[in-house]
Amino acid sequence: MLSTLAAARPKKRLFLGLLLASEFFVALALYGAWRISYLGLENIFRYLPAIVGALLIFVSTFSFGAVCNMVLAIKGLPTLKLFHRYSFAIIKFLFPVAVRIGKIFGIRRRQLEGSFVAVSNLIFMKSGIKVPANRLLVLSPHCLQLSTCPHKITRDPNNCKRCGGCNVGDLMKLADEMGFTFFVATGGTLARQVVKKIRPQVVLAIACERDLMSGIQDVYPLPAVGVLNIRPNGPCNNTRVDMDEVRRVLSQIVI
């Protein structure tokens, strides 16, 4: 059974550990660049090396603080709101470095993305956000629909006949039962348009690691929780979702 919310401890540590390693690496690289350019900077203006050095120390300390803030959030300890805003920007900047460092240790990009989703989900759950069902948007990828299904559900999921051929029907039934909005998006652009139009208070997204990672960051500051899809036929083809997990997540966020 796939579980992103109940992700094992090492998964979360993986992301945070590599993010901290990236911080260290980038700080070291910045220090090296500062040392190399020291004389040149001094030739321009006597105090320029000190100004640039102070700026680099500030940036490095700030981004280190943002990662530590995430650790505090996971532990359920008080966090600084100031960092929340910049956390995803810092992740976006450091993630490619983390991927490269991970590669050295045989860690795949997908593992790291999954670890990010686990961290993000845990922070979401620790924040204790609860909303009425009608303020919740559940988004799923188009690949969840049975590839041979003739019904066009991407503009209107109500076209689904709930035949039981794929999880789209299950999600539609659940949406009718609970009252949340369910939408099938063909890509990130359509997903963003739907979020803009519906203006939910919370998004529950079903997708692969990569799409969840970018989607959660894209909709920020809107709180989003992710459920990984299951890919028995490989990526983007007749994917599935663990409905028990979807129900479990819903039970934790819907009032």
Over the window 126 to 145, marking each residue x when it contacts ligand SF4 by CB under 6 A and - when it does not, the resulting string is -------------------x
Q: Which value, to the nearest 10 degrees, does the dihedral of the CA atoms of residues 80, 81, 84, 86 take?
A: -90
Task: Note whether 174 binds ligand SF4 by CB under 6 A.
Answer: no
CB 135 within 8 A of CB 202: yes
Judging by DSSP bridges, how do beta strands 202-207 and 136-141 pair with one another?
A: parallel
Question: Which of 1-9, 30-38, 62-70, 153-161 is the region at the interface with ligand SF4 (rule: CB under 6 A)?
Answer: 153-161
Task: Note whether 168 binds ligand SF4 by CB under 6 A.
Answer: yes
Cis peptide before 200 (omega within 30 of 0): no
Interface pick for ligand SF4 out of 151, 192, 231, 240 (rule CB under 6 A): 151
Question: Which of 25-33, 161-169, 208-216, 246-254 is the region at the interface with ligand SF4 (rule: CB under 6 A)?
Answer: 161-169
CB 239 within 8 A of CB 212: no
Interface pick for ligand SF4 out of 108, 130, 162, 247 (rule CB under 6 A): 162
Q: For ligand SF4, which is the closer residue by CB, 127 or 158?
A: 158
Residue 191: CB minimum distance to ligand SF4, A: 18
CB 114 within 8 A of CB 228: yes
Task: Note whether 160 binds ligand SF4 by CB under 6 A.
Answer: yes
Nearest to 97 by CA among 148, 31, 149, 28: 28
| Residues in CB range of 163: below 8 A, 6 or more apart | 169
Binding site for ligand SF4 (CB under 6 A): 145-146, 149, 151, 153, 160-163, 165-166, 168-169
